[in-house]
Chains A and B, each alone.
Chain A
Amino acid sequence: MVGQILFIFIAVVTLLMALGVVVARNLFHAALFLVGVFFGVATLFILLEAEFLAMAQIVIYIGAIATLIVFAIMLSRGMMGKHLGKYNKQWYFAGGAMIFFFGLVSWLLVKMPFAPVSAEAPADAIQQIGSGFVGHYVVPFEVASVLLLVALVGAIMLARERNS
């Protein structure tokens, strides 16, 4: 019962902040709402007993990605014309389609017979994740590191001044 009330509280606050991300006129406010959404999702990870992912969410999303987005907003201030609205011409169509999508998927999820198993989460989950990265999942892990390297080089190449 306490878990349900806690979940509903976190979910409602997180969804309200997600709504703030898409409706805020000031982009800086939208970025602060986005940090709130990341934090809410991290608390949901703790409710789901995935503590490593909650810490990784806070370090990577709030520490790195949100900071990067705030940098992007500060660099792009004045790039948009002030006279323009925040939404494009198809926003009502997009809103209707998303409400329809949400209704359809929620209806399917309520109808769907899931069979949850009532096993405990493993106590040494972090150790198993670590040994998984150097054992069974070593090839995807290396591919992910190559992807990060390519993104690093690509971002520098794209954003570089071309003086020649």
Chain B
Amino acid sequence: MTVPLSWYLIFATALFSLGFFGVLSRRNAVAVLMGVELMLNAVNVNLVAFWRYLTPTDLSGQIFVVFVFTVAAAEAAVGLALMISIYRTRKTINVEEINALKH
């Protein structure tokens, strides 16, 4: 327990910022999906750090992380299927050209 809690939180903030930058700025939809995975991992680090430092006897923090794992797996599977489906109809996975809802 020599590492302060805020170090973990700042690390998670940096990981979240990098993932969010990837989501906002990449053109390829697969790269956007990877940015989302980075953000989910940052949230998991935060949850486990808060569990260990603030409520080590109550394991609800760890149990919440397992649910985040579940949602991440579902999101990756549905995201890949969406990309294949979009490529079939639009012939691209460039997120700048998938703008049918804008017009």
B77 and A105 form a contact (CB under 8 A): no
Give every chain A residue within 8 A of B25 (Cβ-Cβ). 22, 87-88, 90-91, 94-95
Q: How many residues of B contact A (CB 8 A)?
A: 73
B3 and A47 form a contact (CB under 8 A): yes
Give every chain A residue within 8 A of B71 (Cβ-Cβ). 144, 147
Give every chain A residue within 8 A of B62 (Cβ-Cβ). 50, 52-53, 125, 129
Give every chain B residue within 8 A of A88 (Cβ-Cβ). 25-27, 95-96
Most chain B CB inside 10 Å of its own CB: which residue of A22, A114, A144, A152: A22
**For window 140-164 of chain A, which residues contact chain B by CB distance below 8 Å?**
140, 144, 147-148, 150-152, 154-159
Give every chain B residue within 8 A of A94 (Cβ-Cβ). 20-21, 24-25
The number of A-B residue pairs with CB atoms under 8 Å apart is: 244
**For window 28-59 of chain A, which residues contact chain B by CB distance below 8 Å?**
30-31, 34, 37-38, 41, 44-45, 47-50, 52-53, 56-57
Known A15-B14, A84-B27, A101-B20; judge A69-B84 contact (CB<8 A).
Answer: no
**For window 84-142 of chain A, which residues contact chain B by CB distance below 8 Å?**
84-91, 94-95, 97-99, 101-102, 105-106, 109-110, 112, 114-122, 125, 128-129, 132-133, 137, 140
Q: How many residues of A contact B (CB 8 A)?
A: 91
Min CB–CB distance A100 → chain B (angstroms): 9
Known A34-B37, A95-B21, A120-B56; judge A155-B78 contact (CB<8 A).
Answer: yes
Give every chain B residue within 8 A of A72 (Cβ-Cβ). 30, 33, 80, 83
- Rounded to whole angstroms, the CA-CA distance of A97 and B18 in the bound complex is 11
Main secondary structure of the interface of B (DSSP, over half): helix
Min CB–CB distance A120 → chain B (angstroms): 7
- Rounded to whole angstroms, the CA-CA distance of A31 and B37 in the bound complex is 11
B81 and A22 form a contact (CB under 8 A): no
- Rounded to whole angstroms, the CA-CA distance of A43 and B5 in the bound complex is 16
Known A7-B3, A102-B13; judge A155-B80 contact (CB<8 A).
Answer: yes
New A-B contacts (6) at CB < 8 Å, excluding given A22-B38, A119-B57:
A41-B44, A47-B3, A50-B52, A84-B27, A88-B27, A116-B53
8 residue pairs A–B, Cβ–Cβ below 8 Å: A3-B1, A65-B37, A76-B83, A91-B25, A101-B20, A144-B70, A148-B70, A151-B78
